[in-house]
Amino acid sequence: MVLKKAIQTVAQLVGVSAQPVRYDDVLEEVLSHHPDAETDYLAKAYAFGAKAHAGQVRKSGEPYYQHPTAVAYHLAKTGLDLDTVAAGFLHDVLEDCPVEYKDLETNFGHDLAEIVNGVTKLGKVKFQDKAQAQAESYRKMILAMSKDLRVLIVKLADRLHNMQTLEHLNPEKQKRISKETLEIYAPLAHRIGMSQFKTELETLAFYYLEPESYSELKRQLDTRQKISHKTMDSIGHEIRAVLEKNQLESDVTSRVKSEYSIFQKLKKKQTTIEGIYDYYAFRILTDSVRECYAVLGALHERWKPIPGRFKDFIATPKPNLYQSLHTTLIAENGMPFEVQIRTHMMHRLAEEGVAAHWTYKRGRLLSVGKSEYTAWLRKLVDENKDMSDHEEFLESLKAQLVNDEILVFTPAGEIKTLPKGATPLDFAYQIHTELGHHTIGAKIDGKMTSLRSTLQTGNIVEILTSPNQRPSQEWLKIVKSHSARHKIRQWLRTEEKKKSIELGHQIFEKELKRYKIALKTISRDLVQGKAEGLGYKKLDDFYSAIGFGHITPAKAIAPFLPEGTLDKPTGDEVRESRIAKAINRLARKKGAQVTVKGQEDVLVYLAKCCSPIFGDPIVGYITRGRGVAVHKRDCAGLQRSLNDPERRIEVEWDKNYDNPVFSVRVLVHTEERPGMLLDITQALKDAKTNVRKFQASVNVEKNLGVFDIVIEVNTINHLENVFKHLRKIKGVLSQQRVK
């Protein structure tokens, strides 16, 4: 019941009417933007789609064609051309109906056929798995978008209507689709400046992904709004008076920002709604740029601006070409409010994005202005084109979609674009892969800095190199751009392969020795031949398979022994596993760098199932192909996978490991009382821990509070210390490490 009600709220919020959209609604919208549009074409597209989808039903039980009609309606509302609106009616026919590309092209022309083809998913049969199918579909879609942006706009309208009707799917699908919407489609809408699509997509996704946070925030906002309404009303009046006095003619409106953007801020700043300055904003629209600055001056004269909050996006537009002045002022009662000042044209661009640049004749697209948007998409295609790993491609795509950009200069004055937060290392890799590999430091604006410094727009960056320098795992944490990360990973992979070959070779030699066979007495050709018999074309692949644990030493040497001898080794038997011994011996030779002692040169990683912290009792487990997983000794997941005791290996924490940092999730149950939140945050502060995530919820009926916290600790003692501080708080009932 409650849920149903909330959905209605969302539906109202994003303007979904309870009535299904009809053809006449679409027509009306089209004519309101293009009074002389060729309506026959539109009617023909509608009829064609209706016929193709006849008899199909949606999950909700409604006729399928309601969906394409609604998509066409969303498109018509943006004022786009007839091809785009018609593509809304027809966007699903290639995927779901026995309609061919040719049919569309002959009936509706090349442009429409291309748009519909662009939004159509690739056939499902030819892929190994879902991840690959998804990655390839994105690739195809982005390529089609970079040729014609209308493909993206149709896709966004399609996604918007699917989000609006998501209630008919099961919760798991709702979450998956909402996640994809947040990660891919909302950022794409943002990048082409279509802020209305973006806000609606985000709001719906937020509602389905975090229903509790959503309704809690909505409740808080409603309350706050009632309180602040009066203040805001009087400030609005005064702004108008100030502008009139200065003879600045302009439109003043006010609004509360979207729930999702406020939620993002709350999360990022770890604050409460009181700590957010700008959830309430005024917007002032003028006729000219000159007037924008005049308005700004008049307002700064009247109210005190908060230092550091003034942003001039007119002089320096955002990467999606958004232009505006932003400033935050303080009212007499101490309440801050944000003001955005821009021209009417800039405002149209901010709302409609790329579409605002297009010109039409009789509802047909005449010219497509502003190639910056498509240039950006093309760059996205280019930069990801050699990524053969699907997971990596998806990850890179998502990151590039959300990143803002900075502009920096080479010493020769050439401009390079990098993601926000980029370091000199990103810069070096962008210039040349080899330069990146050998970077040891950098000069920013002539001053020596470390590889970790964050670059700012306008910096002049000079890279210092050394021929002896080599990339390391650590670098993956320093770089921000995906192309740099990709290059480092590639280098590390090659290096890991080399090491695994060396390790495999030694294990193999050692294992043979136990049967009194010396490797050097066996000819290379013989080893090669037997390895081929085991399925390895190259000798290196055979050794690296042993090194990585893809094949056990016993299996590897079996073809070299007389039959029946394998189980009777003649060497000394010890409890410790043979692989473990070999690894230990090899590893002891190398210098200590990594967290787990004795394994310096073996691939070691902390198991995700139990996330051990420095100081936990631990044990290693040699995985098939991914090196040694380090588990907590009492890890339940490990108990299950310990079917092969020979893969167990003793490991310990490296005492020399400098300042380790581990994330750990903690659940705290408390009595519900005023001030509890504050006490807990104070305790965390006292225990000197960084908070990564903090979520509080209240069970009013039971009078209980639950705090879901992710903190950073250095050691298990540090975590104990955090618990000690929490225990001291009055009303804390329990605390528990979750992983």
Q: Which residues are catalytic?
A: 95-96
49 or 553, CB closer to Mn ion? 49
148 or 158, CB closer to Mn ion? 158
Examine residue 120 and tell whether it contacts Mn ion (CB under 5 A).
no
Q: How far is the CB of 201 from Mn ion (least distance, A)?
A: 14
The region of 85-93, 245-253, 357-365, 640-648 touching Mn ion under the rule CB under 5 A is 85-93
Q: Which helix (H) or strand (E) holds 474?
A: helix 473-478
Cβ neighbourhood burial of 99 (10 Å; 0-12, 13-18, 19+): buried
Q: How far is the CB of 73 from Mn ion (least distance, A)?
A: 13
94 or 281, CB closer to Mn ion? 94
The tokens of 520 are what? 């050097």
Q: What are the φ and ψ backbone dihedral angles of 128, each rounded to 5 degrees?
A: -70, -40
91 or 499, CB closer to Mn ion? 91
Residue nearest to Mn ion (CB): 158
The region of 86-94, 168-176, 374-382, 452-460 touching Mn ion under the rule CB under 5 A is 86-94
88 or 353, CB closer to Mn ion? 88
Residues 547-586 that bind Mn ion (CB under 5 A): none
**Dihedral over alpha carbons 211, 212, 217, 223 (to 10 degrees):** 120
Burial readout 184-217 (b: 16 or more C-beta within 10 A, e: otherwise): bbbbbbbbbbbbbbbbbbbbbbbbbbbbebbbeb
Radius of gyration over alpha carbons of the chain, in Å?
31
92 or 111, CB closer to Mn ion? 92
Residues 31-60 that bind Mn ion (CB under 5 A): none
Q: How far is the CB of 132 from Mn ion (least distance, A)?
A: 22
Examine residue 259 and tell whether it contacts Mn ion (CB under 5 A).
no
CA 688 – CA 269 distance, rounded (Å): 18
Report the residue from 29, 81, 83, 92 that binds Mn ion according to the rule CB under 5 A: 92
Q: What are the φ and ψ backbone dihedral angles of 3, each rounded to 5 degrees?
A: -60, -45
The region of 154-162, 249-257, 306-314, 625-633 touching Mn ion under the rule CB under 5 A is 154-162
Q: How far is the CB of 313 from Mn ion (least distance, A)?
A: 35
SS3 label, residue 290: helix
Q: How far is the CB of 107 from Mn ion (least distance, A)?
A: 20
Q: Give residue for tokens 């770890």.
A: 270
Query: Which one, of 401, 403, 399, 455, lies nearest residue 425 by Cα?
Result: 455
The region of 30-38, 151-159, 323-331, 547-555 touching Mn ion under the rule CB under 5 A is 151-159
**Dihedral over alpha carbons 7, 13, 14, 17 (to 10 degrees):** 70
SS3 label, residue 622: strand
111 or 158, CB closer to Mn ion? 158
The tokens of 430 are what? 């962008």
Beta strands in 438-512 (DSSP E): 439-444, 447-449, 461-465
Provide CB contacts within 8 A for 67, sequence distance 6+. 58, 92, 161, 162, 165
- Using CB under 5 A as the binding criterion, the count of chain residues that bind Mn ion stands at 2
Contact 282, 252 (CB under 8 A): yes
CA 201 – CA 161 distance, rounded (Å): 9
Q: What are the φ and ψ backbone dihedral angles of 668, each rounded to 5 degrees?
A: -120, 125
Q: How far is the CB of 158 from Mn ion (least distance, A)?
A: 4
Q: What are the φ and ψ backbone dihedral angles of 391, each rounded to 5 degrees?
A: -60, -45
SS3 label, residue 594: coil
Q: How far is the CB of 66 from Mn ion (least distance, A)?
A: 11
70 or 406, CB closer to Mn ion? 70
DSSP string, 90-126: HTTHHHHSS--HHHHHHHH-HHHHHHHHHHSPPPSTT
Which amino acid belongs to residue 423?
Answer: T
114 or 158, CB closer to Mn ion? 158
The region of 155-163, 186-194, 406-414, 618-626 touching Mn ion under the rule CB under 5 A is 155-163
Q: How far is the CB of 87 from Mn ion (least distance, A)?
A: 11
Neighbours of 451 (CB within 10 A): 19
∠ Cα 242 243 248 (to 5°): 155
The region of 90-98, 552-560, 582-590, 632-640 touching Mn ion under the rule CB under 5 A is 90-98
Bridge partners, residue 737, by sequence? 666
* Max Cα distance, the chain (Å): 103
92 or 654, CB closer to Mn ion? 92
92 or 338, CB closer to Mn ion? 92
Q: How far is the CB of 95 from Mn ion (least distance, A)?
A: 8
Q: Which helix (H) or strand (E) holds 620?
A: strand 618-622
The region of 7-15, 92-100, 136-144, 568-576 touching Mn ion under the rule CB under 5 A is 92-100
Q: How far is the CB of 67 from Mn ion (least distance, A)?
A: 6
DSSP string, 207-247: HHH-HHHHHHHHHHHHHHHHHHHHHHHHHHHHHHHHHHHTT
For helices 39-52 and 82-90, the axis angle rounded to 10 degrees is 10
The region of 138-146, 153-161, 595-603, 726-734 touching Mn ion under the rule CB under 5 A is 153-161
Examine residue 158 and tell whether it contacts Mn ion (CB under 5 A).
yes
Q: How far is the CB of 91 from Mn ion (least distance, A)?
A: 6
CA 75 – CA 78 distance, rounded (Å): 5
Which positions touch Mn ion (CB under 5 A)? Answer: 92, 158
